[in-house]
Amino acid sequence: MINFKEEIAKKVAKATDLDGKTLEGYIEIPKDSKNGDYAFPCFRLAKELKKAPPVIANEIKEKIEIQEPIEKIEIAGGYLNFYIDKERLTKEVLKQIEEQENYGESQIGNGKNIVIDYSAPNIAKPFHIGHLRSTVIGAALYNIYQYLGYHTIGINHLGDYGTQFGKLIEGYKRWGNEYDIEKDPINELTKIYIRINEACKEDEAILNACRDNFKKLEDGDSYCVEIWEKFRKLSLKEFQKVYDLLGSKFDSWNGEAFYSDKMQEVIDILQNTGRLIESQGAKIIDLEEQGISTPCIIQKTNGSTTYATRDLAAILYRARTYDYDKALYVTSYEQILHFKQVFEVAKLLGLDEKYIKGLQHVSFGMVLLPTGKMSTREGNVVKLEELLEEAMQRAKQIIEEKNSSLENKEEVAKKVGIGAVIFNDLANSRVKDEIFDWDTILNFQGETGPYIQYTYVRTKSVLEKAGYLPKLEEIKIEKLTDTYAQNIIKLIYSFEDTLIQVTNKEEPSILSRYLIDLSKAFSSFYNENKIIGEDKQTQDARIYLTYSTGKVLKIGAKLLGINMPDKM
């Protein structure tokens, strides 16, 4: 498809003798289409050309010959506003819709490897709504990178190692026969975890016993390893129920424990740099000179390792195994300091600069209860499986009220309920905290997942009522040059660019916002235009635009992890 930004940049470059690629990056899309389809801000050139922006705008305009695909150029202050020929734009979009089954798919990432570390629940703890954000943000990024041609590796870096397992092992030793772990593993293990934490608060000797258990686990003690393996196996079985509901898949399930035999290499490398020093019995890397006041602990006083050690071992392994161009870590902003430390220490591992530059923490805000932060220790968590089941039940109830004769109600309720939960999580900037509230997360009005699904279903209903899809060569393009049709055309044209913006900013909400905008544009088009019943040429054109809208909505939603029902 023709790149209109690139075409405009070439013309401006020719008029100014400046670099076209740089100029292309300056071009904006005006919020109001009255100000053109594209705008070039001439103030960006004021310093270089030593002239006022309106003067620059006039000079450039005079040098540009108006020809297809540009319809006209207007000056507004220091902006050059470019208007694209509507019929040319419409023809380009519909031709691509017809030719490309996976519209917006590209190969811009060909030859590049992206590692995405996401979800990563803790073994033997409830899979609660706090894990939802990492899971759905990571999955959306995974899908979009893959769609743009990148070789994408999704890793579920399970929290299956650490002091908490020393605590669980100690609790199991003391009270294991009081709990039916086989029948209800996560809930029973959670009860043990809460109980042992209380005991640790009251008696430091118990806390020390827990720490010793983890050291024994690291050293391969048969009893500790056996219990740990049991906890891991039972937990994964429970987690899979949630992943099945969300449609989540991973290329690797290598958690923290996978790196247990790979950490000594990290310690040896750091030791050889002379930067690993002893402090109060522990081994640390001092990062004061790098502007980080908190040191990175590599080995605890009892010789056991830390999250940082394991993450450093993972960086080494992933660089060697996947030759990554980017390694994204999708975790909460609570871990910003941790990753600053780890990425800084990673510079000492002797890796190629490419791997260090590729490290990126994709942080997100917390999911909070109205009463505050969730804590497994305190036992106040909202379990994700229960939330998803509740969402499906509520969706089914709405369907019963509004369309009780609908076929496959269970399947539609699953798509609508889970779609509502996923979209709610991806609707806003990932860095914002989210207060979890049933009324908000399952609100089926307004800018929600169900609204997008309903719009898609409406496109399907129009096509079903029409009973045919006209061939593209029969479409009279001039029938789609009105404002409502053009608003849709422009949005469909910008779909691939929207996906690229997501990967530039690691921000799935850009796609969520796009889908809302496209749904609103179609609703306006639907309300203002008679699609079926007009003259045949107008009807054919509007039917094809309806089909095109539905196609893009379905693809976009799927990239976010949301499935579309055909009827609601």
Amino acid (one-letter) located at 510: I
Long-range CB contact pairs, 233-236, < 8 A, 24+: 234/181, 234/182, 234/185, 234/186, 234/189, 235/123, 235/124, 235/125, 235/185, 235/186, 235/189, 236/123, 236/158
Residue closest to 492 by CA, chosen among 437, 409, 552: 552
Annotated catalytic residue: which of 11, 125, 479, 554? 125
Joined tokens for residue 75: 């000056």
Output the DSSP codes for 328-352: EEEEEGGGHHHHHHHHHHHTTTT--
On the question of a cis peptide bond just before residue 69, with omega within 30 degrees of 0, the verdict is yes
Query: Given the structure tokens 């096509």, which residue do they identify?
Result: 463
Residues 6+ apart with CB under 8 A from 398: 416, 444
Instruction: Specify whether 125 is catalytic.
Output: yes
Grouping H, G, I as helix, E, B as strand and the rest as coil, residue 279 is: strand
On whether the CB atoms of residues 331 and 361 are closer than 8 A, the answer is yes
Q: Tell me, yes or no, if 131 is annotated catalytic.
A: yes
Integer Cα distance of 515 and 495 in angstroms: 9
Q: What phi and psi, each to the nearest 5 degrees, are found at residue 260?
A: -60, -35
Catalytic residue among 11, 131, 414, 460: 131
Compute the half-sphere exposure of residue 299: CA atoms within 13 Å on the CB side of its CA.
21
Structure tokens at 98: 């017809």
**Cα distances (Å, whole numbers) of residue 395 to 7, 226, 278, 568:** 47, 43, 58, 10
Contact 416, 452 (CB under 8 A): no
* Strands (E) located in 436-556: none
363: its two tokens = 């942080």
The secondary structure of the chain in percent helix, strand, coil, rounded to multiples of 5, reads 60, 10, 30
Q: 452 with 424: CB under 8 angstroms?
A: no
Of the candidates 5, 86, 91, 128, the residue annotated as catalytic is: 128
Contacts of 255 (CB under 8 A, 6+ apart): 120, 123, 156, 157, 158, 159, 160, 161
Rg (CA), the chain: 28
Distance of CA 97 to the CA centre of its chain: 25
- Kindly tell me the sign of the dihedral angle through the C-alpha atoms of 201, 205, 211, 213: negative
Residue (of 561, 566, 482, 567) closest to 529 by Cα position: 482
| C-alpha–C-alpha distance, residues 195 and 545, integer Å | 61
Give how far the C-alpha of residue 444 lies from the chain's centroid of Cα atoms, to the nearest Å: 22
What are the residue numbers of the active site? 125, 128, 131
